[in-house]
Each structure stands twice: as C-alpha cells, then as structure tokens.
Amino acid sequence: MTQTITFPFDRRPEPGEAMPVAEGVRWVRMPMPLAGLDHINLWLVEDGDGWTVVDTGVKTDQIQELWENVFTREIGGKPVKRVICTHFHIDHTGMAGWITQRFPGIELWMTFGEWSFARMLWLEALPEVPEHVLEFYRRSGFGAEAIEQIKSSGYANMQKQSWEVPRAFRRMTEGDVIRIGQHDWKIMIGRGHSPEHACLYCPALNVLISGDQVLPRISPHIGLHANEPEGNPLGLYLNSLKQFNSLPSETLVLPAHNDPFVGVGARADQLAHHHAVRLGLLGAAMEDWTPMPDVLPVLFRRQLEGFQRIMASSEALAHLQYMVVDGTAQRRLDADGVYQFRRATTEIPPAEIGHE
C-alpha cells in the first residue's frame, strides 16, 4: 500500500505571524528574494521560558522587521534562547548573526560541516569569480559567451545577503538528542543538498523539521559544484534519504519550503523515484558521446536562462557524475577540454537485474 501525502493546514501564516502547528511549535513564513522560490518556512520551538529559532531567513531589512514583529508581538515577549540552522545556505543562516546579537549571549547550533562551510564562505567573499570555477564550467561545456556571463554576474558573495556567521557555535552531530523545553529532538543528518544538513525529529510530538532535505512539492536542489568536482552529491542524497522511511507514517513534517505535510516515507520514495527516472532518461539519451548542455532538455522542459541555467547544469552534472561513479556512464575529456558522457556499453547479466 502506498501512503499518500496530505497537507493538514488550510492556511499559511501571514507575514510576521507565528502560527501554532504542534504543541509548542510555531510556523513563521518569510519572503525570499531569490530566484525561483518566493518564501522560506522558519520554526519556533518553545524552550522553557523562551524560544529556540530554527532557521533564520536571508538578510534583508524587511525580514528583520518581520522578525522584530514576531519577537515583540507573537511570542509573548519571551526571549530567543538559541538559534539552530539546518544548513549553510543563506536563506537559512542569513539572519543568524543578527538574532544572536539581538539576544546577547545566545548560541548558534549547527553541524560542524555546515557551520564551517558557512563561516568559510562568509570570509571568502571574493570580488571576482575565481579561475577554477570558470574552468569547471568550461569543462562542463559552457561556451565562451556563457563563461563571460558567469564572469560578469560576479561571485556569490555571501556578505551581501548574510550577517556575519557567528565565530563560535555549538556542534550537533548524527544521533544527538537535544532537549528543547519539554521535549527531546533527535538530530538526523541529510547529505547531498549540503554537506551535513541537520533535520530534527521529536518522537514525543511526532514532528520532523526537515529543512531542505525532504520537501513535499519540489525536489531539493542536488548539484555538483566547482569546489568538489569529483564529488557524488546525488549518491549521498539518495543514501541519506532512506532513513526517513523508518519514521512513523503519521509524522508531521515541517519543511523549509512548500507547506507542512504528512507522509514522509511516501515522499522519500517519490523523490528517490524521481531521480531514478531521470537517470534512466539520461542513459537513454547518451548512446553517443554527449556534453552536459545537450542533456539539459532531457531533464528540464522549460527554457533556462542565467542563474537558472547554472543551477540546472549543476543538477545535470550531479546526475552524470552519479552514473560515472556507479559505472552506468563513462566520461572522457575531448580535444577542446570539454567532458563528454556516454552510456556504459557493458551489458548487465540477467541474474543481476533487480538486485541493488
């Protein structure tokens, strides 16, 4: 029997509202000035005589004002006692530095992988796109004009959209149990979307704060990037997705985008299936040596421009790299220094089909 996915709430919080979704858990929805997505969900968990904030929003004056409204009007004047960020992306960490200043003495809790990556990117703040990034895109099949576009759009400078990532933090690791107010929350680590993404599961409330790891309506971005060109983010993602099948089917999932939902195992299965289908389509399209840009229409039906094209390319590269690592595709560098991919020609013995 396949469980279906349901959305138990018939409304969403207004800007600056903290809407109750479970005992001691509130939903805050912030606007998002990023391409493709117009909102992010953030969470407040009652923490004794105060609150724990989970994820924080991008650094903008509007979001700061909305947070101010939440702090002064929505949560009974009780202070924030701790900030947890699920992962390093600026829509999650951008306001963490400000909240930790707004409530002096409180700590930022993250995994080591996410905190150190956020801190590194914030400090890096390069004025120009570095050569290894341009080279990564050249090898991936971007032509001279596309490379010029990447150059002129500049490096993603984290300082523009994030307060300084706090210099000290509290570490969360796989399996840790964190007490927040009345309840224990277990840390589950997801990978592939970011290095060491923290999800928080509360068995007593049967609530999972899933961050970007499991989203109900969109597939989390899984991209291969210039900082780890031989990585296998899709392999990491699919492996870490399996753990969510062990949660109770009635678990209320609080995702960072879209709406809260029930049916985490079904959604994990759908996401795994979504990627399996795309890997199959890629294999079918690569009978001959093919550069990455030629497979973009196989994966994306819409016209891709600018930043969207870069995101789509990193997603396509993650799928191609997955196939290279598991042996279902081959990769070679052509005379122009561009990677070409081809479906592996080896036949799979019939006895092996159907096994993992």
State which residue, 71 or 163, has the beta carbon closest to Zn ion: 163
- Residue 90 CB, nearest approach to Zn ion (Å): 9
CB 72 within 8 A of CB 60: no
175 secondary structure, DSSP code: T
d(CA 44, CA 24): 8
Which of these ranges, 65-73, 81-89, 241-249, 274-282, lies near Zn ion under the rule CB under 5 A? 81-89
Residue 89 vs 343, nearer CB to Zn ion: 89
Task: Give the range of 87-95, 135-143, 318-326, 344-352 binding Zn ion by CB under 5 A.
Answer: 87-95
Looking at the DSSP assignment, which residues form a beta bridge with residue 41? 29
Residue 134 or 311: which CB sits closer to Zn ion? 311
In the complex, the smallest distance separating the C-beta of residue 95 from Zn ion, rounded to whole angstroms, is 15
Q: Does 89 bind Zn ion (CB under 5 A)?
A: yes
**CB-wise, 74 or 212, nearer to Zn ion?**
212
Q: Which is nearer to Zn ion, 258 or 330 (CB)?
A: 258
Q: Which two tokens stand for residue 238?
A: 């699919």
Distance between CA atoms of residues 158 and 126, nearest Å:
9
Applying CB under 5 A, which part among 63-71, 88-96, 133-141, 330-338 lies near Zn ion?
88-96
- How far apart, in whole angstroms, are the C-alpha atoms of residue 313 and residue 304? 10
Only one of the segments 22-30, 83-91, 199-207, 290-298 lies at the binding site for Zn ion (rule: CB under 5 A); that segment is 83-91
Site for Zn ion in 96-125 (CB under 5 A): none
Q: Which of residues 198-217 bind Zn ion (CB under 5 A)?
A: 212
- CB–CB of 106/78 below 8 Å? no
Alpha carbon distances (Å) from 180 to 62, 185, 208, 226: 28, 7, 14, 38
Q: DSSP letter string over 13-41?
A: PPTT--EEEETTEEEEEEEEEETTEEEEE
Shortest reach from residue 89's CB to Zn ion, in Å: 4
Nearer to Zn ion, 47 or 212 (CB): 212
User: Which pairs from 23-31 meet CB under 8 Å and 24+ separation?
Assistant: 23/205, 24/181, 24/182, 24/183, 24/205, 25/205, 25/207, 25/254, 26/74, 26/75, 27/254, 27/260, 28/66, 28/70, 30/57, 30/58, 30/63, 30/66, 31/60, 31/62, 31/63
Q: x/- string (CB under 5 A) for Zn ion, residues 40-79? A: ----------------------------------------
Q: Which of 19-27, 30-38, 82-90, 307-315 is the region at the interface with Zn ion (rule: CB under 5 A)?
A: 82-90
Smaller CB separation from Zn ion, 197 or 278: 197
Instruction: Give the binding site for Zn ion (CB under 5 A).
Output: 89, 212
